[in-house]
Amino acid sequence: MGIKSSKELVSEALSQIKTLTTSEALELVNKDKCNLIDLRDIRELEKTGRIENSHHIPRGMLEFWMDPDSPYFKEGKIDMNKEMVLFCAGGLRSALATKSLKEMGFEKISHVEGGFSQMKIAGFKVIK
């Protein structure tokens, strides 16, 4: 039994999750119909800025911060009635994270194709 490559894991995740284009994600944001969740490391945010009105949840803490039974749960950080739209720098970490939250039972969950790098081009407002 060999190990799965990260490429295989991402490919599997993409076949099981909802992927939004940057324009679809921007429309949800503009209509205030989603929580935009930035999974990038804090150093990435400091270096490149962040998307206005996004919530920062580091990828390593996502499952813990989103689990109401976890001591790390962030009460009130996310509006659980809205879709959660995850993104990272390029769309790979967010694909895996979206699959993980789906496996936890979250239903209104998706990720942005191309991540932060494409969101900047698509017209999301970046703040430093």
Q: Do the domain assignments include residue 25?
A: yes
* Cα(43)–Cα(36) distance, integer angstroms: 19
Range of the domain at 61: 16-127
CATH number for the domain including 43? Answer: 3.40.250.10
Counting the structural domains of the chain, the total is: 1
Q: Do the domain assignments include residue 121?
A: yes
User: What integer pLDDT is reported at residue 116 of this predicted model?
Assistant: 98
SS3 content of the chain, % helix, strand, coil (to 5): 45, 20, 40
Per-residue pLDDT of the chain (128 residues; tens, 9 = 90+): 789 999 999 999 999 999 999 999 999 999 999 999 999 999 999 999 999 999 999 999 999 999 999 999 988 888 989 999 999 999 999 999 999 999 999 999 999 999 999 999 999 999 98
